[in-house]
Each structure stands twice: as structure tokens, then as C-alpha cells.
Chain A
């Protein structure tokens, strides 16, 4: 696989026109993290609706195309889903969402930053703790 495949139209589109980008005025969940390797930065905010559903979700931050597109796509997937759904999201789901790009170990961190922030926020809200399986750089 070549970088032309990693940076396909879809990822570039989400990078340049991120969906759900911004901040919520009222939110119940907020989480933030950075990727120490490259300084990629993601913040997510969620308003929880009836039946513990994700009523509104927005993200903000800056970083590479992979981290920003991944976070944006994740917010689209998450919107309307029950909070419990977030517990079921696995890294394979994120890779699939991105079109299964072949990423080196350092770039995998970029791809998974959004998921980490989402899980950290939601787990905390649910009274649980999200343990990053691969902490640090």
C-alpha cells in the first residue's frame, strides 16, 4: 500500500472539511488529549440525551490529516448512539472507517487519538476508567 492509498480522497476531505468540528455550548462530557509524539491535539464534547444517547458531539483540535479525519469520522459514527456503544468501539473499527490504511506504529497513534479521547470521556462519565492499551509515545 502506498501513501496515495493512505491519503485517499475521503481522508483529505475530512481533514479539510471536518464534520462536527467546534465546541458545544452545553455539554455533559468533555475530554482532551494530545499525542506526545507529534503534538496532535483532540478535544471532544458530548451532550447526553434521553436514554443515555449521544445527542450532540463535537470535536476540536489540530494535527495531521489522519488524526483529524479519524476524530471527525468517529463523531459522525457516534452521534445518536447510546453511550454504551462507545465501550464496544475497537481500534479495528477505526481502521475500517479510515479505509484500512497501512500505518506504521507511530501513525497508528494518530489514527487512534480520537477514539482514545472519546473513550476517556465516556468511560469517565459512566463511572469507569479507560486504560489506554499503548500509553505514551
Chain B
């Protein structure tokens, strides 16, 4: 197996038990990392360890198990916070990116957005950073408008400036597109938005897992990401919010833990971030996310990024030899993340995915929860191969072989 120099792939692969399995008798070639990543043994062990050694509810029990569980849960919060350069008490544990944007929609939006207000999203958003704002606009009588993209797959900065001129309340945009791979200049866009008086909600689902993110340098109001896309468990993610905003917001869900005092006719709220964590939280998976952060940190996010750039370069070169294959998104690998969305002749992505599956290769096919973007690209679906640190040049060679096989079956 060829090394990419940035990391020792062979050694890393040994940390991921699932990579030993076969699919249809073939070696598993997992290239669907933008949908969800595989989990290293250390993450799996952290879940087993919690359930078999110190399973207990957090924050309310004074017994030993309760203290240990609370320490581990809050320890995980600290790890996640430092990992993205956030400040203490700004990290809210949520189910994932989708719950994070919905939390902002309810807890911030219900209070701040008024009839006639303008909300902005971009055409490269995942549905999770569009639909909540559509719902908010509808319930408030506000308007939702979209910033378009340029033919090379970047945000249309002229349109952004023009729409910011209409004094929007909100700008929702992604750090990194899950289809085009485009990495947006978050600091710059957010600064522009702030100048226009808008609050920013940034989708970090495809950035935090793949390259170093330092929120202290990005000047955003809300930032969301999902644990399961960064080697952690499903069902856990984070919303990072500016403390002053979080404090000013109403609660998201009501129940236990999020209150300070409850009376017959009213209640007072717990401090941030607990105000937004009603009920028994997802303790095990938060701890698992902490373990994932430890694992990524031990490799180094700069190394993960370097590895993915090399894979991307290699994939682009390899796939450029396939006639009839069209890749979407920016040209320069340094301006995009480690994923490639493409179409191959008239082979529909679903048919391609079925043929590749038979070779043990997992890719994503479809609209990638980004239908407005699909419309921009004038396609109904694309195929997408997305990488993480355990992928190798061999995986890309296998992908090319699989595509060639599809070409033979479809007589391309």
C-alpha cells in the first residue's frame, strides 16, 4: 500500500476494525466519509468502557459513578471546545449539525426575527442549513433569499455583497460544501455579514472533520458540526455559540437540567450551555466524541488535511484519464476538501453506486441533501467519493477500476 508521506496509512487502517471486513467478497473500499466516517477502536472502546465501568447520569448524582460520568462528559466538552478553538461555556452538545441549526432557528430565531425581515442562505448549503430558515421565514413572515455560486463552484461574492446591502438578519453559510468541496473564507464572509448587521450561522459539518478549524480566528456567531463525520459516534455533535448570544436566547427544549428554579407559573434557566441541554443528555456518545477528538489530535489535523490533499490530487489525476467523467467544484485542491463529486457519461449515479458496491466500493450517489445546488449544477444527482485519513491511493485505484467496469457494462 502506497504511503502518502503525510501519515502512515497502513498503521492508521489497523485502528479501524471495520476496514477488515469484506463486501461481496471484496476488500471494503470506504469512500463515503462525507456521509459518515468509520470509527477507530479507541472510540468504540470508550463507549464500551463507559457502559461497562461507570454508566450513570450526569450532573445530578453525587455517588462515585455519577461523579466519574460527569467528569468524563464535561471532559469531552472541553476536548471538543479546544479542538475547534472555542471558548469555555460556548459549546452546546446537540444531536448533530441538524439539531444545531434547528436550535438556533428556535432559540435565536423565534426571538430575533420579525415580520418582513430578510434571511440569507447560499446555494451550496446542505438542507440542514436551508430548511430551518425556510420554516423560520414562514412562521415569522420573513423572506429567505439565496446567495448564488459562480461557475467554478465558489460563492458569488458580488451577489453576497448585493444581498448584504439589503440588511439581512441572518447569513447561513457552509464552511465547506459537501458536494463541491469548496472551502469558504469564513472569516471574510462573516466579517462582511457582521458589517451588514447580520448574525452568522456556519455549517462546519464538512470542515471540522477534515482540516484544522480555529474559531478564535473566524469571527462567527454560531458554528455547527456532527461527531459521526469526524470518527465519533452518531447522535452527538456541537453547536458553538457566542456566549452573549447564547445567554440572550430563550431555551430550546424545556425539561430537567436546563432549569435553575421551577415554580407553578414560571421557571428560571440554568447557565449556558446547560440551558440548552434539556433532559438526560447523550453521555456515552459525547464521551465517544471526546475520544475521537483525542484520536484526531494524536494524528494532527494538519496531517489529516495534507493526506487528503494528496489523495485529492491523486484522485483528480487518476479520474482525469477516464473519458466522459466530469468532476464538479474548484480546480485547486488547496481550495477544496477531500471529496470529489462527479458524473460519468450517461451512467446514472445510482447505477454506478450499485456496480461499485459489487466491487466492495462504497460511494454516495444522489442529491446529497443539496437539491438547490443540484439545480444550479443542472443535474438531478451526482456520484461522490469522499476521503478520510484511512483512505489510500489503492482505494482510488479501486474506484477507477470500478468506474471502468461500469463503463464496460453500460457500453460507454
Give the B-binding residues of A (Cβ under 8 A).
2-4, 6-7, 12, 16, 37-41, 62-66, 104, 107, 110
Contacts and interface: CB of A to CB of B under 8 A. Distances in A.
Given A41-B380, A62-B380, A107 B354 contact: yes
Contact of B355 (A3, A39, A110): A3
Contact of A39 (B357, B380, B409, B410): B380
A16 B348 CA distance: 11
B350 A7 contact: no
Given A39-B371, A39-B380, A64-B348, A12 B411 contact: yes
Given A16-B346, A38-B366, A4 B409 contact: yes
B384 to A, nearest CB: 13
Counting from the closest, the 7 A-B pairs by CB-CB distance are: A64-B348, A64-B350, A3-B355, A38-B366, A39-B367, A65-B351, A64-B351
A2 B374 CA distance: 30
Contacts of A38: 349-350, 365-367, 381
B158 interface: no
Contact of B354 (A6, A39, A41, A62): A6
Nearest to B366: A38
Given A39-B367, A39-B380, A110 B350 contact: yes
Interface string B301-331: 0000000000000000000000000000000
A35 B98 CA distance: 22
A7 B410 contact: yes
A107 to B, nearest CB: 6
A65 B348 contact: yes
B334 to A, nearest CB: 31
B397 interface: no
Contact of B348 (A2, A4, A63, A104): A63
Interface residues of B, number: 20
Nearest to A107: B354
A20 to B, nearest CB: 20
Contacts of A66: 350-351
Contacts of A7: 351, 355, 409-410
A78 B380 CA distance: 28
Contact of B410 (A12, A40, A110): A12
Q: Specify the main secondary structure of chain A where it touches its partner.
A: mixed
Given A38-B381, A39-B367, A3 B409 contact: yes
A7 B367 CA distance: 22
Nearest to A7: B409
Nearest to A37: B366
Interface string B366-390: 1100010010000011000000000
A2 B355 CA distance: 8
B253 interface: no
Contacts of B346: 16
B358 A2 contact: yes
Contacts of B366: 37-39
5 contacts: A12-B410, A16-B346, A37-B366, A63-B348, A107-B350
Nearest to B24: A2
Contacts of B381: 38-39, 63
A12 B411 CA distance: 9
Given A7-B351, A16-B346, 20 more contacts: A3-B358, A6-B354, A7-B409, A12-B411, A38-B350, A39-B367, A39-B374, A39-B381, A40-B350, A41-B380, A62-B380, A65-B347, A65-B351, A66-B350, A66-B351, A104-B354, A104-B357, A107-B350, A107-B354, A110-B350
B403 to A, nearest CB: 13
A15 to B, nearest CB: 8
A107 B358 CA distance: 13
Contacts of B351: 7, 64-66
